[in-house]
């Protein structure tokens, strides 16, 4: 069973990791660390830990040819750096739910690219899957409540959706010749270099590592030091889910993997409900179910196409 659905299991497990990481990251962000600085320590820490492991055990995998260098640079800057930075810009200017809805239009752009630019066959069921999953996200966000959308926030979220689409498409291309570990190390390294140029390390607010952070919600009676939460974010909220998603892309496709990623907002809502008591109403619950149905349809479409 695992071997048959290995790609789906890997992609969805990665979505679980990213979703749970959202709750942990929120604890750190509400304790004073900026979103860009969190991204910096997240990418930098992941690069150092995973890079050291790959360097010691599989040094040959880090060799880069001139032919693939431009693609790897684009993969790191767009898929690892731009996706995170643009998302943070979007959610600082409008509601998180709206930002996520716009960001997760990525599967739509991927399928349009495959169908009308690359002229590939797209199973009709895949269009149904996208409609269901996106419709479910609209129900979760409850967009009819009339939120005023900030133009800059909308632009950032739209560009973020395109960046996320590029991440999945380049991931599909690069995993044909590279393994998930080396590809992730290079992506984290390029993103870290870009952030290092923009924000020097000597000005990093290092006090966050020794700061006592309340766990809030269900665990409000407990605290942890900042370094412990940041270590979780780096190892279990970044390295592990990125590896799982990249391995999933290698076995599936950009379109199917991106649709699997639509489970992330649903799972993030579930974790926030359990931990932070951020409850959903009945319509949002229906939206979550619809997203899951859309993901199931996407997997059936992929199976039919093969």
For the chain, what are the domain ranges? Answer: 6-305
- Could you tell me where the beta strands, DSSP code E, fall in the chain? 212-214, 223-225
Query: Phi, psi (5° rounding) for residue 215?
Result: -85, -10
Question: Are the C-beta atoms of 273 and 279 separated by less than 8 Å?
Answer: yes
pTM across the whole model: 0.84
Q: What is the pLDDT along the chain (306 residues), one digit of tens a residue?
A: 555 588 889 999 999 998 898 889 889 988 888 888 999 999 999 999 999 999 998 888 888 888 899 999 999 999 899 988 888 788 777 666 667 778 878 888 888 888 888 888 888 888 888 888 888 878 877 766 655 567 888 888 889 999 999 999 999 899 988 999 999 999 999 999 999 988 988 899 999 999 999 999 899 999 999 999 999 999 999 999 999 999 998 888 887 888 888 888 788 878 888 898 877 788 888 888 888 888 888 777 766 554
Residues 6+ apart with CB under 8 A from 12: 260, 263, 295
60 sits in which H/E element: none
Question: Are the C-beta atoms of 219 and 27 separated by less than 8 Å?
Answer: no
Query: Phi, psi (5° rounding) for residue 259?
Result: -70, -35
Q: 28-53: string of b/e by CB count within 10 Å (b at 16+)?
A: beeeebebebbbbbbbbbbbebbbee
The CA distance from 50 to 165, in Å, is 24
């Amino acid at each position: 069973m695992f071997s048959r659905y290995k790609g789906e299991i890997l992609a969805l497990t990665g979505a679980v990791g990213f979703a749970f990481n959202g709750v942990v990251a929120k604890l750190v962000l509400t304790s004073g660390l900026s979103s860009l600085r969190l991204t910096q320590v997240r990418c930098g820490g992941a690069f150092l830990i995973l890079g050291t492991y790959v360097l010691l055990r599989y040094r040959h995998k880090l060799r880069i040819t001139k032919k693939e260098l431009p693609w790897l640079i684009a993969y790191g800057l767009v898929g690892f750096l731009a996706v995170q930075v643009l998302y943070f810009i979007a959610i600082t200017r409008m509601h998180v739910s709206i930002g996520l809805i716009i960001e997760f239009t990525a599967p739509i752009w991927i399928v349009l690219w495959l169908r009308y630019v690359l002229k590939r066959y797209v199973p009709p069921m895949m269009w149904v899957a996208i409609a269901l999953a996106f419709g479910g996200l609209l129900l979760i966000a409850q967009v009819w409540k009339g939120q005023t959308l900030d133009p800059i926030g909308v632009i950032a979220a739209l560009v973020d959706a395109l960046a996320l689409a590029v991440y999945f498409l380049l991931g599909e291309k690069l995993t044909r010749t590279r393994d998930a570990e080396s590809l992730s190390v290079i992506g984290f390294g390029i993103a870290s270099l870009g952030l290092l140029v923009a924000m020097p390390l000597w000005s990093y607010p290092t006090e966050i590592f020794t700061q006592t952070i309340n766990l809030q919600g269900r665990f409000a009676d407990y605290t942890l030091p900042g370094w412990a939460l940041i270590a979780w974010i780096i190892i279990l909220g970044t390295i592990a889910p990125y590896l799982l998603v990249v391995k999933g892309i290698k076995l599936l496709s950009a379109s199917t993997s991106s649709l699997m990623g639509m489970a992330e907002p649903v799972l993030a809502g579930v974790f926030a409900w359990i931990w932070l008591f951020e409850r959903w109403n009945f319509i949002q619950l229906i939206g979550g179910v619809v997203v899951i149905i859309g993901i199931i349809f996407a997997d059936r479409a992929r199976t039919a196409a093969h």
